[in-house]
Amino acid sequence: VACRSPCHPIARTLIQESGVPIAAPSANRFGHVSPTSAKHVYDDLRGEDVWIVDPLMDGEGQEEEGCAVGVESTVAKVDHASRSIAILRHGAVSSVQIRDCLTSHNISSYDVTTQIKTTAETVSNIAPGQTIRHYSPNVPSTLLSTRRFEQSPSTSEPLSNDELSVLKTSVVLDYGKRLSSLAPHCLSYRDLSPDGDSAQAAHAVFDGLRWAENVENVERIYFPDLEVEDSDDVGNGNGDEDALLLAVKDRLTRAASGVVVTTLQ
């Protein structure tokens, strides 16, 4: 049995008042960028027979800020037979936090591991967000190796004429200024967190992906290929920040179908 535990007060009140189990499918088209606001849900499902519960959609409220965290929750599989807990999708809760929770309840017999998978769309998965192409914008998207572009202008390899031409119709969705050298040349540029704050990036990533696909005349989108260590000890020393950065990397990787390039093409 899989259980979701939302933190939004409207969702929790709905659960409490209904008194029955509630099915909770994702409120977006399969494979498309996840929604973090009622507007995102409306944009994806406006043609479907659904009701959207949001106090600010009457035209009188202020612009909503979206979900508190941004990325979806951590998904973990509890296997009592093998006394193990496997993280199947990265979210705000890290493996270290899960271990700390077990320890605080005097439970020491469970191993906590990370088992992140990337599969084809034709494969049946045991957890959401495991297909290699997921959270994808409606525009071709690619991860860009950042090493070449993080160098100083005096030592970096200059952009070719072909690359400059590609950038004219490209949007760059950056993190921590890794691709900031491309900003003057691309169609449009946005940084999820110029300061490299993983919580800020996690909050902004899905809104950023939806913004990127709607930039006028965009033909392709580039993200930085984030080099983040993915291990069973993630979160050690940095709390939920490491877990959130892994979650951002995971979402961008799947949005780009795992494709990484070193040149603009």
pLDDT, tens only, 92-107: 888 888 888 888 988 8
Mean pLDDT, residues 37-53 taken together: 85
Confidence at residue 208, expressed as pLDDT on a 0 to 100 scale: 95
Q: Give the number of other Cβ atoms within 10 Å of residue 190's Cβ.
A: 16
Confidence at residue 133, expressed as pLDDT on a 0 to 100 scale: 65
pTM of the predicted model over 0.85? no
Phi, psi dihedral angles at 105 (to 5 degrees):
-105, 20
Q: Where are the domains of the chain?
A: 9-58, 70-265
Mean pLDDT, residues 20-24 taken together: 83
Name the average pLDDT for the chain: 82
The hierarchical CATH code for the domain 70-265 is 3.40.50.11030
pLDDT band at 109 (very low <50, low <70, confident <90, very high): confident
Q: Which residue has the higher pLDDT, 109 or 60?
A: 109
Mean pLDDT, residues 138-158 taken together: 80
Confidence at residue 229, expressed as pLDDT on a 0 to 100 scale: 67
Whole-angstrom distance, CA of residue 89 vs CA of residue 246: 10
Confidence at residue 165, expressed as pLDDT on a 0 to 100 scale: 95
Phi, psi dihedral angles at 174 (to 5 degrees):
-105, 175
Confidence at residue 163, expressed as pLDDT on a 0 to 100 scale: 93
The residue whose two tokens read 């110029």 is 194
Confidence at residue 115, expressed as pLDDT on a 0 to 100 scale: 76
- The residue type found at 201 is A
pLDDT band at 129 (very low <50, low <70, confident <90, very high): low
Confidence at residue 182, expressed as pLDDT on a 0 to 100 scale: 94
Confidence at residue 177, expressed as pLDDT on a 0 to 100 scale: 94
CA dist 68 → 7, 54, 58 (Å): 9, 15, 21
Q: Above 70 in pLDDT, residue 132?
A: no
Q: Above 80 in pLDDT, residue 227?
A: yes
Mean pLDDT, residues 38-48 taken together: 86
Q: Above 90 in pLDDT, residue 221?
A: yes
Beta partners for residue 243, in sequence order: none
pLDDT band at 184 (very low <50, low <70, confident <90, very high): very high
From the list 178, 192, 185, the residue with the least C-alpha distance to 149 is 178
Whole-angstrom distance, CA of residue 257 vs CA of residue 90: 17
Q: Which residue has the higher pLDDT, 129 or 265?
A: 265
Beta partners for residue 189, in sequence order: 172
pLDDT band at 72 (very low <50, low <70, confident <90, very high): confident
